[in-house]
Amino acid sequence: MATISDVAARAGVSTATVSRTLNGKSTVDPALAAKVRAAAAELGYHPNALARNLRRQETAVLALIISDVENPFFTAIARGVEDIAQTAGYSVVLCNSDENEEKESRYLDVALQERVAGVIISPTGRSTDVSILRERGTPVVAVDRPLPAEPGDQVLVDTRRAACEATEHLLAEGYRHIACVTGPEGVRTADDRLEGYRDALRAAGITTELFRRSELRSAGAREATSELLDSAEPPDALLVINNTMAIGALEAFKARGIRAGRDVGIVAFDDAPWTTLVDPPLSVVTQPAYDIGTVAAKLLLARIGGGSDKPTATVLEARLVARASSRRTP
């Protein structure tokens, strides 16, 4: 591979001039610049980013660590991040922690070692530790879930309130024995949505709460839902806290010949393209996933640019989209 010295030799100038020309930093004599460009083109010169990064002590790469690549909610965030990063000349490295603290910590380590310019992360659990990055001054923005014990930048959704509204909606439809299918303790969104569910029950004067926790996957939710449906006093409606789990819940319905809306009401978090295609259409709490990504990326870029004010916490709104799965049809 051609190096900067090869280009310099061919253009009959110093490496410094080549560097200046190609980076457009300082002014260079137009004639020389043309020679440099010609030489670079002829040699098929591609600057070695490794060397540049080492010299500059920084990279034009953002790391995005998400907890589940197969969840459309997170891929939508990724799109948002990428779109903003692109325009600023940054590349995005997408890392899938898979709700696994070990993988997450390994990726945080890689991010540090590779000296990425900044990190956006949806923390997996209670013990996510980004202090190694903070110490080095690498900006970190948390999305979807806050970092434990950290007053850092965050882009979250008012998910407790949304869960409350969804539950209120089910109550308004006449459902009385509502259950919540949520995720593991310690996952903030799981806990918050459960709290929102409780808020609504409390406000309605209902004292018998009913919930199951499972891993954040369809298989777990299928089992949890099955348990609920097969219990002595099965719920007449369900609040499911993400769209992957909604699939599990609907599978459990299907296995029992239960029809959403008619037999058991259901509202799930996150919209997805398929939710209007199931029968009946699924009521959802839709979160501004793409916006979470763009807001987080802009915030991160601002931090990289040097804006080191106090930590920001942005809270976006979720919106209930009531469809037939939560409408009582006699």
Do 250 and 226 contact (CB within 8 A), yes or no?
Answer: no
Residue 28 binds which one of its own copies, DNA, none, with CB within 5 to 8 A depending on kind? DNA
Instruction: With contacts defined by CB under 7 A, name the span among 48-56, 171-179, 223-231, 251-259 that binds DNA.
Output: 48-56
Segment 174-213, which members bind DNA (CB under 7 A)? none
Near DNA by CB under 7 A: residue from 52, 79, 161, 327? 52
| In the complex, least distance from residue 287 CB atom to its own copies, rounded to whole angstroms | 15
Residue 87 binds which one of its own copies, DNA, none, with CB within 5 to 8 A depending on kind? none
Angle at which helices 159-172 and 188-203 pack, to 10 degrees?
40
| In the complex, least distance from residue 84 CB atom to its own copies, rounded to whole angstroms | 13
Residue 5 binds which one of DNA, its own copies, none, with CB within 5 to 8 A depending on kind? DNA
Pairwise CA distance, residues 283 & 239, whole Å: 10
Q: Is 24 exposed, middle or buried (0-12, 13-18, 19+ CB in 10 A)?
A: exposed
Do 262 and 256 contact (CB within 8 A), yes or no?
Answer: no
The answer to whether residue 3 forms part of the interface with DNA (CB under 7 A) is yes
Report the candidate in 273, 292, 289 with the shortest Cα–Cα distance to residue 281: 273
The answer to whether residue 42 forms part of the interface with DNA (CB under 7 A) is no
Side chain identity, residue 149: A
Q: Is the peptide bond before 280 cis (omega within 30 degrees of 0)?
A: yes
The answer to whether residue 306 forms part of the interface with DNA (CB under 7 A) is no
Near DNA by CB under 7 A: residue from 57, 136, 137, 233? 57
The answer to whether residue 9 forms part of the interface with DNA (CB under 7 A) is no
Pairwise CA distance, residues 121 & 167, whole Å: 29
The answer to whether residue 17 forms part of the interface with DNA (CB under 7 A) is yes
Give the x/- contact pattern for DNA in 106-145, rule: CB under 7 A: ----------------------------------------
Q: Each residue of 269-296: b (16+ CB within 10 Å) or e?
A: bbbbeebeebebbbbbbbbbbbbbbbbb
Query: Distance of alpha carbon 194 from its chain centroid, rounded?
Result: 20
Q: Report the residue number, 59 or 154, with the smaller CB distance to DNA.
A: 59
| In the complex, least distance from residue 31 CB atom to DNA, rounded to whole angstroms | 7
The answer to whether residue 14 forms part of the interface with DNA (CB under 7 A) is yes
Q: Report the residue number, 36 or 247, with the smaller CB distance to DNA.
A: 36
What are the tokens at 182? 């949520």
The answer to whether residue 86 forms part of the interface with DNA (CB under 7 A) is no
Number of residues this chain uses to bind DNA (CB under 7 A): 32
What are the tokens at 280? 């009946």
Which helix (H) or strand (E) is 70 found in, with range?
A: none
Pairwise CA distance, residues 240 & 268, whole Å: 5
Pairwise CA distance, residues 293 & 290, whole Å: 5
Interface residues with DNA (CB under 7 A)?
A: 1, 3-5, 12-17, 19-20, 22-23, 25-29, 31-33, 45, 47-48, 50-52, 54-57
